[in-house]
């Protein structure tokens, strides 16, 4: 069976144990409850900026049932579709995220296969990203869009997209965007030392495949930092005379 099929079976067993264990956990904040492998993938989206989106709540039996429904399809694509549908229906709540973390903990305690645990981490990460998208400010949503354009290679296109956003009535202002970019960049800088230690520890203890994956994430993180920094430069330069003129003309 695939890791997703194994996860579905493990989640069903773990959810049954977690849902009826006592007492129910109290709500937790991102500082006390995080995915075991959150750093690499969360950075491009600036999860540190949208802290409320990663908060969890004490899960109810209904939350466990919804989470089991999300993973029972047995495929990664099916899981993504189920998460997005739950989000659109307003059912992807901190309680469901709390259920996911509880199931993950139960899976660890029961010694589930490493592939199942890794898949579980990725499911939690994807759920968190969808919640972040739902709760993101207009500035964060704009950054998501601009990051896909690659500001390092398509500065002109990014500048035009920024100008269009700034010119939209009730839209994002230059100051809004600049402030959020600054906090994102500072947040990533705070994690630099953590990442250096993470890579150094993995170099001597991980398998070749695991180390290559860690390095891939580390390189992706560096790319995200470079793109965010370039976005900040373009944004700040657009506040100059030429940038203002472009928006006015638009």
Residue 28's SS3 state is strand
Confidence at residue 171, expressed as pLDDT on a 0 to 100 scale: 78
Tally Cβ neighbours within 10 Å of residue 9. 15
Write b or e for each residue in 133-153: b if 16 or more Cβ atoms lie within 10 A of its Cβ, otherwise e.
beebebbbebbbebbebebee
pTM: 0.50
pLDDT digits (tens, 9 = 90+) for 124-155: 888 887 887 777 788 888 888 888 888 888 99
Task: Please give the pLDDT value at position 157.
Answer: 92
* CA atoms of 36 and 59, how far apart (whole Å): 19
pLDDT greater than 50 at residue 75: yes
């Amino acid at each position: 069976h695939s890791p997703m099929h194994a996860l579905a079976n493990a989640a069903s067993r773990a959810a049954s144990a977690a849902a009826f264990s006592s007492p129910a956990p109290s709500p937790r904040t991102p500082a006390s409850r995080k995915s075991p492998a959150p750093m690499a993938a969360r950075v491009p989206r600036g999860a540190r900026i949208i802290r409320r989106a990663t908060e969890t709540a004490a899960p109810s039996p209904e939350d466990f049932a919804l989470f089991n429904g999300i993973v029972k399809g047995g495929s990664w694509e099916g899981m993504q579709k189920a998460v997005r549908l739950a989000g659109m229906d307003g059912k992807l709540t901190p309680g469901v995220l709390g259920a996911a973390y509880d199931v993950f903990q139960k899976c660890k305690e029961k010694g589930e296969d490493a592939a199942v645990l890794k898949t579980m981490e990725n499911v939690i990460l994807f759920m968190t990203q969808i919640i972040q998208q739902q709760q993101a400010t207009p500035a964060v949503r704009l950054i998501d869009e601009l990051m896909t354009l690659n500001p390092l290679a398509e500065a002109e296109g990014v500048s035009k997209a920024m100008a269009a956003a700034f010119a939209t009535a009730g839209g994002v202002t230059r100051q809004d965007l600049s402030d959020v970019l600054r906090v994102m960049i500072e947040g990533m800088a705070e994690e630099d030392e953590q990442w250096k230690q993470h890579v150094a520890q993995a170099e001597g203890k991980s398998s070749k495949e695991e180390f290559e994956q860690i390095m891939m994430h580390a390189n992706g993180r560096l790319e995200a930092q470079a793109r965010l920094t370039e976005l900040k430069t373009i944004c700040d330069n657009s506040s100059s005379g030429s940038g203002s003129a472009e928006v006015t003309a638009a």
